[in-house]
Every structure is written in C-alpha cells, then in structure tokens.
A and B are shown apart, each in its own frame.
Chain A
Amino acid sequence: MGEIDWFPLTLSLRVALIATAFVVIIGVALGWLLARRRFFGRELLDAAVTLPLVLPPTVLGYYLLVLLGRKSLVGHAIEAITGQPLVFTWRGAVVAAGIGALPLVVKTSRTAIAAVDTNLEDAARTLGQTEWRVFWRVTMPLASLGIIAAAMLAFARALGDFGATLMVAGNIPGRTQTAAIAIYDAAQAGRDNYALVLVLILSVVTLFLVYATNKLTVGK
C-alpha cells in the first residue's frame, strides 16, 4: 500500500471548517429571519433553503456550475475580484459543501430561535436595547445549544459532501480531491486498504459529531 496520502483528509477538514464558518453565519441569520420576522414568501424561502437537502447532489452541482462557472456573471465577477476562478478550485469545494450543509443550519437554528420566549426579547427592548443587542444578549445565548448543534451537523455534512463537490471542484489529486472523492477514486482503482482507512476515519468523526449533537439537543 505504501505511504498513506493524507492530503484528501486535510483538505476535507479545511473545506468543512471554512464552509461551516460561512454557513453558520448565513444560516443563523436566515434562521432568525424565518423564526422572528413575518414577511411575504417566508415559507417559500424556507422551502428554497431546504432544497439542497432533497435535491440530487448532481442537480445541485449543476446549478452551482451554471451560477458560478467562468462564463457566468457571478463567476466572472469572482474571477475579476480574486484573480482566480471559483470552479475547479478548493474554494469551489467550500461553496458546494456549504450549500449542502445550509439547510441543516437554517432548520436547526430556526427551531432553536423560535423556542426562545419572545417576552424575554421584549423585556430586553423595554430595557433600552437595540435589536442587534437583543439578538446577542438574549436570543443568541438562549439558542446557543441549538446553534452549536447546528454547527456540528453542518461540519459533519460538509465533511462528507461528494456529488456537488465533484461537479463544482472536480477531482484533481493534490488540489481538489477531498476525502469523499478520494474514497471513490481508491475503490474504483482497487486501492481497497486506502479507501478503508479514509472510510473508517470519516465514519468515526461523523459518528462522534452526530452523537455530540444529540447529546446537546435531546439530552439537556
């Protein structure tokens, strides 16, 4: 079998961490919006951010390619600003993994924020606090368990993303080949031991994350 190539695993961890950071910020903001504001199309927005959970990953990847590809308006703008294209780089993998994890964060944080007693938020307002401070001093601390759980789920989900990542970032060994893709590659090429090592590591890490999430949300 020779030396084990750890690159796919470290890339996966890096992609998942960065994707989680972005997705938690966007997802909690969306979760708050859905839990606390009444606006036209609220449930439609909820449905739209849930889509990545149920769509085939290839469909998701296709959308992202069309949206972010070098010929698209968005892709063009990104390339003009950063000097690099998004697709077929590890940054593309971050976007793909993040989109897949977004529904988990939105759903979980919407539930956690909706469970915070609105009387407490009103009480903070009567004590002279702005909406921003009400969020950080009351809503967020009281929803924090749910939001931490959301972040861990998002990380676990991002770590294992396959289809969308493959379509958006490709399978370039040493550049965009994440652990999930490397497993597919190794299994196809008959490098079963290598596949098994990665499979076991991913399984254990994900199992631990989901277990810890359950402890946080169910066992409190």
Chain B
Amino acid sequence: MTLSVKIQKALGSFDNDAARSRQSSTSSVEFHRALSHEGFQLDVEFEVPPGFAILFGASGSGKTTTLKSISGIVRPDAGRIGINDEVLFDSERRIDLPIRRRGVGYVFQDLALFPHLTALANVEFGMSHLPHNDRQRRAEAMMEALHIAHTARRKPREISGGEAQRIALARALSCGPRILLLDEPLSAIDEATKLGIISDLKSINRELRLPILYVTHNREEAVALGERVIVVERGRVVARGEPIELFGTPITNSVARLTGVENIFAGSVVSKSERDGTMTVEISDRSGVCRVDVPFGNQARGERVTVAVPAGDILLATEDPRSTSLRNRLHGRISAIEDKVNRTVVSVQAGVVWNSSVTRQAVRELGLSQGGEVWLAFKTHSCYLLDETQ
C-alpha cells in the first residue's frame, strides 16, 4: 500500500482553530483567530509508503487539514488522493469517496472515544458487519496486543490518558484500515508512556505494513518514530527526508527552527581565510558573545550571518580536548541539564549559551552536573550558515 496525496485548499478561519478555542484560554484563541484571518493556501504533495512518515510542522501549518482531507472529513479545493491505484479523491474526475468507504484509520487529536460506550465497545465499533463473536474476539486480540485488555469494561472517562490513546489506536486498527492517520496522538501524555506506545505501534506495524502518517510538532517524537519526515510550513512542504539528514543539515532558517536545531545565533563575519577554508564569525545572544570557525563562504567581512549548530554535533569533555581535529573548542559552565525522550540536553554558558545533546549514560559517566566546568568541541563543518532569504 502506498498513499499518495496532492491537494490544495484555501485556509481561512478554520475548524482546527475552532477546536482549539474550545480548550484554550481567551488570549491564545485571539492569537489563533488573528492568524487564521490572514489565511493561506494549503498546497502539499507527498507519498507515504508502508511504515511511518512524519508530517512535521508548527501548529496551524495545515497538518490537521491534510489529515482531514485524506480521511474525507474536509474536501480539498483541488488535487488527488489515492491509495495504490484506487482514487479516494480527484477534483478533475469529480471523485470524492465518502469517509466510510476510504478505509482510512484515524486517531483524532482529542481521540474522540465514544463516551457512552465501554472501551471494548469502542474497539468493536467499526466491525459492525461481523457477527458478534468474531467482533469480540478480534477486538480483544487487538486490545491484548496493545496491553489494554484490562480496560475492556470501563468507560472512557474511567481510563488514564495513556490507556485512552491505546484504545483509540486499537479502535482505528481493528476495522482493518489500509492506512493509518495519527493526529498528534501523544501530545498529552508523559514521555515514558509515549515511548511504550510508539514501540508497541511499531511492532504491530511490522506485520501490518500499513502506511502510517503521523502528525506532530514534537521533534523528539519525529526522531524516535521517523523513517521519513515531511516538514510543512504555512501549508507548504519545505523539506523532506530521513530525520537524521533533515535534522542534521538544516537548509533554511525556518527548517532549522522547526526541526529544533538548538543552536542558532546571529553574528557577523570578522575574518576570512580562503587558504584554510574557514571564516571566523562573532556570534552573540542575550548572555554574551563568542567566536566560532565556520566553513568558508562568499559572505563579506562584517556581513551579518546566522549560524546554526545541531546540538547532537557538539561534543562535551571534562578536560580541554586539545589534541583533536576539532577547530571549535570553548570552555564554559553547565547552566542546565534537561531530560528529553531519548537524549539529554546540556546547556552550557560559554560566551553564549550552547545546547549539546548527549545520552543519559554520558551524563552519568562524565559526572556532569549543573555549575560544572566543561569544554565544548565541534567541527567547522558542523556550523551551518543559514539562508535567511527563505
């Protein structure tokens, strides 16, 4: 199975915002309304082969509308949506299959579990064409696989957030969808629970081999899940590829910010050496200034530039790493250590504040703690000069 999508839709004031306004405070509602009044054109094209693909972007970039278009809840202005050779939507041929005939499993952002039914009845809901016994057996098997068999007789309001996620997943999978759409399904639960669900979903999908389109604005999730990432910004695909390459080599400032390259600084070129193939840039942030060597480019001396360094490229050492090939060595003090899903981010004050991402094991073995002295080291080629024009 391969899902192919090519759609266009004008976005004005939109249901995504309406949905958000139900749950958020007045001020942010105003903010979203203001944003949506501008309006923009959703115009995306991508394919999802079996396996996970991440649709990645900030809130309001058109991700949910894309999912709703694929499932048939929202009708695009133009375009074509298909699974293998079957057309779900084609504006030119005037094909628009109703939602129920699309075979699209959908886990809603708010899960949309039926509050009047038990967990088991929720999971059985989509199998009404089967005899009662088959229905129950299949639902129970799916709940078993997702470790929620014990919730079968409970109503959604008596169930924890993580369990509710799993029930929504079981419900979407049990009616045999051809593709699975997940709309920021893990946004409201803690990280350990999240990792458990992700790994269960991955192991279930090793058999099913469904194309799974997973919407998130969380970089950790994108990296943990992603076989492929599609980055969307204001309704357009701005980048796509493997998470590693995408998050490793930011092209534009917006992609860098979206993909969460933690170190982005404004600076200016202070010297250039064509012979060495490097330039020295003085960068600054609110806490101070420092100088780094970056790859030689066509920027003039004194020209303003933006430098990005992926946090994963910065090496931490407890002694001065003098005898290495690394051109950038900075000495500083740890200002914060923060645990993320599958890594730990160490913030270091060394002129400016740098973020370095390391494993928990490294934090333990080096005995890193807040206030401790460390050296930072990274290659000249880990410094990217961002293209500000895009």
Contacts and interface: CB of A to CB of B under 8 A. Distances in A.
A8 B110 CA distance: 54
Contacts of A133: 128
A117 B73 CA distance: 14
A128 B108 contact: no
Interface of A: 117, 119-120, 122-130, 133, 137-138, 141-142
A117 to B, nearest CB: 7
Given A119-B108, A123-B106, A130 B115 contact: no
A27 to B, nearest CB: 22
Interface stretch (B34-42, B97-105, B287-295, B381-389): B97-105
Contact of B126 (A120, A127, A138): A127
Contact of B112 (A117, A128, A141): A117
Contacts of A141: 116
B73 A129 contact: no
A122 B110 CA distance: 12
Main secondary structure of the interface of A (DSSP, over half): helix
B171 interface: yes
Contacts of B104: 126
A117 B115 CA distance: 11
B100 A125 contact: yes
B114 A128 contact: no
A129 B71 contact: no
17 contacts: A119-B19, A122-B112, A124-B125, A125-B99, A126-B73, A126-B105, A126-B106, A126-B126, A127-B171, A127-B175, A128-B100, A128-B101, A128-B175, A129-B125, A129-B126, A141-B116, A142-B116
B175 A122 contact: no
Contacts of A142: 115-116
A143 B57 CA distance: 36
Nearest to A129: B100
A141 B101 CA distance: 24
Contact of A127 (B19, B73, B98, B125): B125
The 4 A-B pairs of least Cβ separation, nearest first, read A127-B126, A125-B99, A123-B112, A126-B106
A123 B99 CA distance: 9
B104 to A, nearest CB: 6
Given A119-B110, A122-B99, A128 B126 contact: yes
Contacts of A122: 71, 73, 99, 106, 108, 112
Interface string B63-102: 0000000011100000000000000000000000011111
Given A125-B99, A126-B106, A128-B100, A119 B125 contact: no
Given A119-B112, A127-B172, 9 more contacts: A122-B112, A124-B114, A125-B73, A126-B99, A126-B172, A127-B171, A128-B129, A129-B100, A129-B128
A124 B122 CA distance: 10
Contacts of A126: 71, 73, 99-100, 102, 104-106, 126, 172
